[in-house]
A and B are shown apart, each in its own frame.
Chain A
Amino acid sequence: MSALIIDTILWASVAALGFIAWQRGRLILTTAVREGSMDFINIVPRIALGVIGSGYIAAVIPQEVITGWLGPNSGWLGVLTAVIAGAATPGGPVVGFSLGAVALKAGGGSPQVIAYVVAWALFAFQRLLLWEIPFMPARFVWFRAAVSLPFPFVAAAIAMAVGKP
Protein backbone atom coordinates (compact mmCIF):
# COMPACT_ATOMS: atom_id res chain seq x y z
CA MET A 1 0.00 0.00 0.00
CA SER A 2 2.66 2.48 1.03
CA ALA A 3 4.69 1.36 -1.99
CA LEU A 4 1.76 2.38 -4.20
CA ILE A 5 1.57 5.81 -2.55
CA ILE A 6 5.31 6.32 -2.96
CA ASP A 7 5.15 5.26 -6.61
CA THR A 8 2.27 7.67 -7.21
CA ILE A 9 4.11 10.59 -5.62
CA LEU A 10 7.25 9.65 -7.55
CA TRP A 11 5.62 9.52 -10.99
CA ALA A 12 3.50 12.59 -10.22
CA SER A 13 6.75 14.48 -9.52
CA VAL A 14 8.20 13.21 -12.80
CA ALA A 15 5.05 14.31 -14.65
CA ALA A 16 5.02 17.74 -12.97
CA LEU A 17 8.68 18.42 -13.79
CA GLY A 18 8.17 17.04 -17.29
CA PHE A 19 5.29 19.48 -17.74
CA ILE A 20 7.46 22.39 -16.61
CA ALA A 21 10.19 21.28 -19.01
CA TRP A 22 7.63 21.03 -21.84
CA GLN A 23 6.43 24.57 -21.11
CA ARG A 24 10.00 25.80 -21.42
CA GLY A 25 10.11 24.28 -24.89
CA ARG A 26 9.94 20.94 -26.65
CA LEU A 27 13.70 20.81 -27.09
CA ILE A 28 14.31 21.03 -23.34
CA LEU A 29 11.82 18.22 -22.74
CA THR A 30 13.33 15.91 -25.36
CA THR A 31 16.89 16.64 -24.22
CA ALA A 32 15.99 15.88 -20.61
CA VAL A 33 14.14 12.67 -21.53
CA ARG A 34 17.05 11.53 -23.68
CA GLU A 35 19.61 12.25 -20.96
CA GLY A 36 17.47 10.59 -18.29
CA SER A 37 17.05 7.51 -20.48
CA MET A 38 20.79 7.33 -21.16
CA ASP A 39 21.48 7.51 -17.40
CA PHE A 40 18.94 4.75 -16.92
CA ILE A 41 20.55 2.50 -19.55
CA ASN A 42 23.99 3.08 -18.06
CA ILE A 43 22.86 2.42 -14.52
CA VAL A 44 20.78 -0.74 -15.07
CA PRO A 45 23.69 -3.23 -15.29
CA ARG A 46 25.19 -1.90 -12.04
CA ILE A 47 21.84 -2.00 -10.26
CA ALA A 48 21.28 -5.52 -11.61
CA LEU A 49 24.56 -6.70 -10.11
CA GLY A 50 23.80 -4.93 -6.84
CA VAL A 51 20.22 -6.00 -6.31
CA ILE A 52 20.62 -9.56 -7.57
CA GLY A 53 23.91 -9.96 -5.72
CA SER A 54 22.86 -8.38 -2.42
CA GLY A 55 20.81 -11.39 -1.39
CA TYR A 56 23.95 -13.52 -1.39
CA ILE A 57 25.95 -11.02 0.64
CA ALA A 58 23.11 -10.80 3.18
CA ALA A 59 22.84 -14.59 3.36
CA VAL A 60 26.53 -14.99 4.15
CA ILE A 61 26.82 -12.49 7.03
CA PRO A 62 25.29 -14.10 10.16
CA GLN A 63 22.68 -11.81 11.71
CA GLU A 64 23.27 -13.08 15.27
CA VAL A 65 26.75 -11.61 15.12
CA ILE A 66 25.36 -8.14 14.47
CA THR A 67 22.68 -8.24 17.18
CA GLY A 68 25.16 -9.75 19.63
CA TRP A 69 27.26 -6.61 19.33
CA LEU A 70 24.44 -4.37 20.54
CA GLY A 71 24.56 -5.54 24.14
CA PRO A 72 22.47 -3.84 26.86
CA ASN A 73 24.03 -1.08 28.99
CA SER A 74 27.16 -1.20 26.89
CA GLY A 75 27.79 2.55 27.05
CA TRP A 76 30.02 4.28 24.52
CA LEU A 77 31.76 1.03 23.59
CA GLY A 78 28.29 -0.29 22.73
CA VAL A 79 27.65 2.85 20.66
CA LEU A 80 30.92 2.30 18.79
CA THR A 81 30.13 -1.35 18.07
CA ALA A 82 26.60 -0.30 17.07
CA VAL A 83 28.06 2.14 14.55
CA ILE A 84 30.34 -0.53 13.08
CA ALA A 85 27.46 -3.00 13.01
CA GLY A 86 25.22 -0.46 11.27
CA ALA A 87 27.82 0.17 8.60
CA ALA A 88 28.39 -3.58 8.16
CA THR A 89 24.71 -4.56 7.95
CA PRO A 90 23.97 -5.89 4.47
CA GLY A 91 20.65 -5.85 2.65
CA GLY A 92 17.81 -3.36 2.39
CA PRO A 93 15.72 -1.47 4.96
CA VAL A 94 13.91 -4.63 6.08
CA VAL A 95 17.16 -6.20 7.28
CA GLY A 96 18.47 -3.00 8.89
CA PHE A 97 15.32 -2.14 10.80
CA SER A 98 14.55 -5.75 11.71
CA LEU A 99 17.96 -6.15 13.31
CA GLY A 100 17.40 -2.85 15.16
CA ALA A 101 14.03 -4.12 16.39
CA VAL A 102 15.57 -7.43 17.49
CA ALA A 103 18.29 -5.54 19.36
CA LEU A 104 15.66 -3.38 21.12
CA LYS A 105 13.62 -6.45 22.09
CA ALA A 106 16.74 -8.28 23.25
CA GLY A 107 17.37 -5.47 25.72
CA GLY A 108 19.74 -3.27 23.75
CA GLY A 109 19.96 0.30 25.01
CA SER A 110 18.05 3.02 23.10
CA PRO A 111 21.14 5.19 22.42
CA GLN A 112 22.94 2.16 21.02
CA VAL A 113 20.02 1.22 18.78
CA ILE A 114 19.63 4.86 17.67
CA ALA A 115 23.35 4.90 16.82
CA TYR A 116 22.89 1.62 14.96
CA VAL A 117 19.95 2.88 12.87
CA VAL A 118 21.59 6.25 12.14
CA ALA A 119 24.91 4.61 11.20
CA TRP A 120 23.06 2.14 8.99
CA ALA A 121 21.20 5.01 7.30
CA LEU A 122 24.38 7.04 6.82
CA PHE A 123 26.84 4.43 5.63
CA ALA A 124 25.58 0.92 5.21
CA PHE A 125 28.45 -0.29 2.99
CA GLN A 126 26.16 -2.11 0.62
CA ARG A 127 24.02 0.97 -0.16
CA LEU A 128 27.18 3.06 -0.55
CA LEU A 129 28.71 0.61 -3.03
CA LEU A 130 25.60 -0.39 -4.93
CA TRP A 131 23.59 2.83 -5.04
CA GLU A 132 25.54 5.90 -4.08
CA ILE A 133 28.77 5.27 -6.01
CA PRO A 134 27.09 4.33 -9.33
CA PHE A 135 25.02 7.55 -9.29
CA MET A 136 27.37 10.08 -7.71
CA PRO A 137 31.00 11.12 -8.21
CA ALA A 138 33.10 8.72 -6.07
CA ARG A 139 34.99 11.66 -4.56
CA PHE A 140 31.71 13.06 -3.22
CA VAL A 141 30.65 9.71 -1.76
CA TRP A 142 33.86 9.17 0.23
CA PHE A 143 33.85 12.79 1.34
CA ARG A 144 30.22 12.53 2.43
CA ALA A 145 30.83 9.30 4.35
CA ALA A 146 33.91 10.72 6.10
CA VAL A 147 32.09 13.90 7.10
CA SER A 148 29.13 11.84 8.40
CA LEU A 149 31.32 9.76 10.73
CA PRO A 150 30.72 11.76 13.95
CA PHE A 151 26.94 11.92 13.60
CA PRO A 152 25.79 8.48 14.86
CA PHE A 153 27.73 9.37 18.04
CA VAL A 154 26.06 12.80 18.17
CA ALA A 155 22.65 11.11 17.80
CA ALA A 156 23.50 8.65 20.61
CA ALA A 157 24.65 11.55 22.82
CA ILE A 158 21.38 13.43 22.22
CA ALA A 159 19.41 10.25 22.97
CA MET A 160 21.34 9.81 26.24
CA ALA A 161 20.80 13.49 27.13
CA VAL A 162 17.04 13.51 26.55
CA GLY A 163 16.59 10.00 27.95
CA LYS A 164 14.29 9.04 25.05
CA PRO A 165 12.90 7.04 23.40
Chain B
Amino acid sequence: MIVIAVLVAVSATLVWRRDGIDGVLEILTHDLALFGGILPRVLAGCLLGAFIAEILPHEKVSRSLGPNSGLKGLLIGTAFGAILPGGPFTAYPVASALLTVGADFGATIAMVVSWTLIGYGRAVAWELPIMGTDFTLWRIVISLPLPVLAGALGRFVYVRMYPQAAP
Protein backbone atom coordinates (compact mmCIF):
# COMPACT_ATOMS: atom_id res chain seq x y z
CA MET B 1 0.00 0.00 0.00
CA ILE B 2 2.77 2.46 0.94
CA VAL B 3 4.72 1.59 -2.21
CA ILE B 4 1.65 2.26 -4.33
CA ALA B 5 0.87 5.51 -2.53
CA VAL B 6 4.43 6.73 -3.09
CA LEU B 7 4.31 5.64 -6.74
CA VAL B 8 1.03 7.51 -7.25
CA ALA B 9 2.33 10.63 -5.46
CA VAL B 10 5.52 10.70 -7.54
CA SER B 11 3.58 10.17 -10.78
CA ALA B 12 1.06 12.87 -9.88
CA THR B 13 3.91 15.28 -9.13
CA LEU B 14 5.53 14.50 -12.49
CA VAL B 15 2.20 15.10 -14.27
CA TRP B 16 1.80 18.36 -12.35
CA ARG B 17 5.28 19.57 -13.35
CA ARG B 18 4.70 18.60 -16.97
CA ASP B 19 1.05 19.58 -17.56
CA GLY B 20 0.29 21.92 -14.64
CA ILE B 21 -2.70 21.72 -12.35
CA ASP B 22 -5.12 21.25 -15.29
CA GLY B 23 -3.45 17.97 -16.26
CA VAL B 24 -3.68 16.73 -12.68
CA LEU B 25 -7.36 17.67 -12.36
CA GLU B 26 -8.27 16.16 -15.75
CA ILE B 27 -6.87 12.76 -14.78
CA LEU B 28 -8.46 13.04 -11.32
CA THR B 29 -11.98 13.68 -12.65
CA HIS B 30 -11.64 10.89 -15.21
CA ASP B 31 -10.44 8.40 -12.60
CA LEU B 32 -13.08 9.50 -10.07
CA ALA B 33 -15.79 8.73 -12.66
CA LEU B 34 -14.18 5.34 -13.31
CA PHE B 35 -14.03 4.66 -9.57
CA GLY B 36 -17.73 5.51 -9.16
CA GLY B 37 -18.61 3.14 -11.99
CA ILE B 38 -16.54 0.30 -10.54
CA LEU B 39 -17.79 0.53 -6.92
CA PRO B 40 -21.08 -1.39 -7.40
CA ARG B 41 -19.16 -4.15 -9.20
CA VAL B 42 -16.67 -4.38 -6.38
CA LEU B 43 -19.60 -4.84 -3.99
CA ALA B 44 -21.05 -7.54 -6.26
CA GLY B 45 -17.67 -9.28 -6.35
CA CYS B 46 -17.30 -9.21 -2.57
CA LEU B 47 -20.83 -10.60 -2.11
CA LEU B 48 -20.16 -13.30 -4.70
CA GLY B 49 -16.99 -14.33 -2.88
CA ALA B 50 -18.74 -14.40 0.50
CA PHE B 51 -21.69 -16.44 -0.83
CA ILE B 52 -19.35 -18.96 -2.42
CA ALA B 53 -17.38 -19.26 0.83
CA GLU B 54 -20.61 -19.89 2.78
CA ILE B 55 -22.44 -22.13 0.32
CA LEU B 56 -19.74 -24.45 -1.01
CA PRO B 57 -19.20 -27.43 1.28
CA HIS B 58 -15.54 -27.45 2.33
CA GLU B 59 -14.98 -31.21 2.06
CA LYS B 60 -16.39 -31.23 -1.45
CA VAL B 61 -14.21 -28.32 -2.58
CA SER B 62 -11.06 -29.81 -1.13
CA ARG B 63 -11.90 -33.10 -2.80
CA SER B 64 -12.55 -31.61 -6.27
CA LEU B 65 -10.09 -28.67 -6.14
CA GLY B 66 -7.64 -29.70 -3.41
CA PRO B 67 -4.04 -30.90 -3.67
CA ASN B 68 -5.15 -34.43 -4.60
CA SER B 69 -7.73 -33.44 -7.20
CA GLY B 70 -5.37 -34.26 -10.08
CA LEU B 71 -5.98 -33.12 -13.63
CA LYS B 72 -9.72 -32.98 -12.99
CA GLY B 73 -9.25 -30.29 -10.35
CA LEU B 74 -7.14 -28.21 -12.73
CA LEU B 75 -9.77 -28.60 -15.46
CA ILE B 76 -12.57 -27.57 -13.07
CA GLY B 77 -10.53 -24.53 -12.01
CA THR B 78 -9.93 -23.61 -15.67
CA ALA B 79 -13.60 -23.99 -16.60
CA PHE B 80 -14.65 -21.97 -13.56
CA GLY B 81 -12.24 -19.14 -14.41
CA ALA B 82 -13.42 -19.09 -18.02
CA ILE B 83 -17.13 -18.71 -17.18
CA LEU B 84 -16.77 -16.37 -14.20
CA PRO B 85 -18.53 -13.07 -14.92
CA GLY B 86 -17.08 -9.64 -14.16
CA GLY B 87 -13.60 -8.23 -13.87
CA PRO B 88 -10.82 -8.28 -11.28
CA PHE B 89 -13.39 -7.17 -8.72
CA THR B 90 -15.04 -10.62 -8.97
CA ALA B 91 -12.20 -12.93 -9.97
CA TYR B 92 -9.88 -12.18 -7.04
CA PRO B 93 -12.45 -12.27 -4.20
CA VAL B 94 -13.81 -15.56 -5.60
CA ALA B 95 -10.32 -17.03 -5.97
CA SER B 96 -9.55 -15.96 -2.42
CA ALA B 97 -12.77 -17.62 -1.22
CA LEU B 98 -11.79 -20.85 -3.01
CA LEU B 99 -8.43 -20.88 -1.23
CA THR B 100 -10.24 -20.44 2.11
CA VAL B 101 -12.62 -23.33 1.52
CA GLY B 102 -9.94 -25.84 0.58
CA ALA B 103 -8.79 -25.38 -3.01
CA ASP B 104 -5.02 -25.74 -3.40
CA PHE B 105 -2.63 -23.27 -5.08
CA GLY B 106 -2.61 -25.35 -8.29
CA ALA B 107 -6.36 -25.28 -8.93
CA THR B 108 -6.61 -21.63 -7.86
CA ILE B 109 -3.74 -20.68 -10.20
CA ALA B 110 -5.55 -22.52 -13.02
CA MET B 111 -8.67 -20.50 -12.19
CA VAL B 112 -6.95 -17.09 -12.04
CA VAL B 113 -4.87 -17.72 -15.19
CA SER B 114 -7.93 -19.04 -17.03
CA TRP B 115 -9.95 -15.98 -16.03
CA THR B 116 -7.24 -13.63 -17.22
CA LEU B 117 -6.45 -15.48 -20.48
CA ILE B 118 -9.67 -17.11 -21.71
CA GLY B 119 -12.37 -15.39 -19.65
CA TYR B 120 -14.91 -14.00 -22.09
CA GLY B 121 -15.58 -10.76 -20.18
CA ARG B 122 -12.45 -8.89 -21.14
CA ALA B 123 -12.20 -10.51 -24.58
CA VAL B 124 -15.72 -9.45 -25.58
CA ALA B 125 -15.65 -6.01 -24.00
CA TRP B 126 -12.13 -4.86 -24.97
CA GLU B 127 -10.03 -7.26 -27.03
CA LEU B 128 -12.51 -7.96 -29.87
CA PRO B 129 -13.22 -4.30 -30.65
CA ILE B 130 -9.60 -3.15 -30.26
CA MET B 131 -7.53 -6.06 -31.58
CA GLY B 132 -9.99 -7.52 -34.10
CA THR B 133 -11.72 -10.90 -34.30
CA ASP B 134 -8.95 -12.84 -36.02
CA PHE B 135 -6.26 -11.95 -33.51
CA THR B 136 -8.54 -12.40 -30.49
CA LEU B 137 -9.80 -15.86 -31.50
CA TRP B 138 -6.30 -17.14 -32.28
CA ARG B 139 -4.93 -15.63 -29.10
CA ILE B 140 -7.61 -17.44 -27.07
CA VAL B 141 -7.10 -20.77 -28.92
CA ILE B 142 -3.35 -20.54 -28.28
CA SER B 143 -4.01 -19.73 -24.61
CA LEU B 144 -6.39 -22.68 -24.04
CA PRO B 145 -3.79 -25.14 -22.65
CA LEU B 146 -1.98 -22.55 -20.52
CA PRO B 147 -4.19 -22.47 -17.37
CA VAL B 148 -3.92 -26.25 -16.86
CA LEU B 149 -0.16 -26.13 -17.50
CA ALA B 150 0.28 -23.21 -15.09
CA GLY B 151 -1.81 -24.97 -12.44
CA ALA B 152 0.15 -28.20 -12.86
CA LEU B 153 3.47 -26.35 -12.63
CA GLY B 154 2.18 -24.47 -9.57
CA ARG B 155 1.18 -27.68 -7.85
CA PHE B 156 4.48 -29.34 -8.77
CA VAL B 157 6.53 -26.47 -7.35
CA TYR B 158 4.32 -25.92 -4.30
CA VAL B 159 4.65 -29.48 -3.03
CA ARG B 160 8.44 -29.17 -3.28
CA MET B 161 8.64 -25.72 -1.73
CA TYR B 162 6.36 -26.49 1.21
CA PRO B 163 6.63 -30.26 1.75
CA GLN B 164 5.20 -29.99 5.26
CA ALA B 165 1.96 -28.47 3.89
CA ALA B 166 1.37 -31.47 1.63
CA PRO B 167 -1.26 -33.88 2.93
Given that A135-B96, A143-B105, A165-B135 are known contacts, is A33 also in contact with B47, CB under 8 Å in the complex?
A: yes
Q: Which residues of A contact B79 (CB under 8 A)?
A: none
Q: How far is the CA of A134 from the CA of B91 in the complex (A)?
A: 12
**A33-72 residues at the B interface, CB under 8 angstroms:** 33, 35-37, 39-40, 43-44, 46-57, 59-60
Q: Which residue of A lies closest to B157 (CB)?
A: A147
The answer on a CB contact under 8 Å between B38 and A51 is yes
Q: Mark A7-25, 1 if CB is under 8 A from B, else 0.
A: 1011101100110110010
Q: Which residue of A lies closest to B136 (CB)?
A: A165
Q: How far is the CA of A11 from the CA of B150 in the complex (A)?
A: 30
Our pick among A2, A33, A104, A164 for the contact of B50 (Cβ within 8 Å) is A33
The answer on a CB contact under 8 Å between B135 and A56 is no
Q: How far is the CA of A11 from the CA of B90 in the complex (A)?
A: 11
The bracket for how many chain B residues form the interface is 35 or more
A77 on interface, CB distance cutoff 8 Å: no
**B40-77 residues at the A interface, CB under 8 angstroms:** 40-55
The answer on a CB contact under 8 Å between A6 and B150 is no
A106 on interface, CB distance cutoff 8 Å: no
Measured between C-beta atoms, what is the minimum distance from B92 to chain A in Å? 3
Q: Which residues of A contact B160 (CB under 8 A)?
A: none
Given that A39-B50, A140-B105, A147-B109 are known contacts, is A162 also in contact with B93, CB under 8 Å in the complex?
A: no
The answer on a CB contact under 8 Å between A14 and B92 is no
The answer on a CB contact under 8 Å between A56 and B138 is no
Q: Which residues of B contact A59 (CB under 8 A)?
A: 11, 15, 19, 23, 27
Q: Which residue of A lies closest to B155 (CB)?
A: A147
The answer on a CB contact under 8 Å between A40 and B124 is no
B7 on interface, CB distance cutoff 8 Å: yes
Q: Which residues of A contact B46 (CB under 8 A)?
A: 36-37, 39-40, 43
The answer on a CB contact under 8 Å between B51 and A17 is yes
A-B contact pairs, 15 of them (CB 8 A): A3-B125, A17-B52, A18-B51, A24-B54, A40-B46, A40-B47, A51-B38, A53-B12, A53-B31, A57-B8, A118-B117, A143-B105, A150-B153, A165-B134, A165-B139
Give 17 new A-B contacts, CB below 8 A, not counting A14-B51, A143-B154, A165-B134. Answer: A14-B47, A18-B51, A20-B55, A28-B55, A47-B42, A49-B8, A51-B34, A51-B38, A52-B32, A56-B12, A93-B126, A114-B139, A122-B113, A132-B88, A132-B92, A135-B95, A137-B96
